[in-house]
Structure 1
Amino acid sequence: MHVDLVAVIVEEYDPAIEFFTEVLGFALTEDSPSLTNDGRPKRWVVVRPPGGGTGLLLARADGERQVAAVGDQMAGRVGFFLRVDDFDATYQRMVAHGVRFLKEPRTESYGEIAVFLDIAGNKWDLLGPAA
């Protein structure tokens, strides 16, 4: 058993796809027409990190409640964790793409860490290996 997808509520599909694929290096694994529960058109958009693993379902906000949740899905907490093999290279690439980091990277017992915001404003930990 494993977690296959986690939904991330975004304002619009295409900018979110660009962020996750071009900036973070995820692969776009699905972008299909779909319908909302009440029959309106939407898209089923899935991105996954290199090598597979748990994917992100990029869900365009639908309605006031979902619009209000964009960027605050975890009520201000870090809610997503991206572990990478080469922390420095990934951090530099993200900075070059204009990703907003909330603090400078630091070293903890479990590895390198820096908190960043995704395109929607959700907080993520960028995690690298322990020294």
Structure 2
Amino acid sequence: MRIEHYLVLEAIEAGEAPEEIARLLDLEPHDVYAMIRLLEERGLVEKRRTFFGERCVLTEAGRRQLEKWRRDVLGRTEEAARFRREGRELEAQNLIDQLLPALPVLVALGVLSFALWKLLTSHLPVGEGE
């Protein structure tokens, strides 16, 4: 799965509607709906009727996949922070570069702490970590 798929899972878990997910990820709504359909086909998301209308929710398989991804992201961010503390900038940057597109969304959804994000992006050229 692509990182955007995991971000959609994160946003669905946070209770966000597809239109808000599109705004958060800076995507067109039709692209988000296409990703949701793909995630449904993979058995990770399902639609349920609620008092507020139809909502997307994670299936048990979706929750397991999301938890696996969260552990991976947390492990990589902690490893990058450790590399930075040890002065191993190149190794840290390689890990951060893989996650950089997702970091602002993960912070906005409360998945990643802002303090950790600032630590990870503090050595980026001006403007890239803002």
Query: Whose RCO is larger (CA < 8 A, sep 6+)?
Result: 1
Same fold (TM over 0.5): no
State the TM-score bracket (shorter-chain normalisation). 0.3 to 0.5
What TM-score, normalized by structure 2, do the two folds share? 0.35
More strand by share: 1
Larger Rg: 2
What TM-score, normalized by structure 1, do the two folds share? 0.34
More helix by share: 2
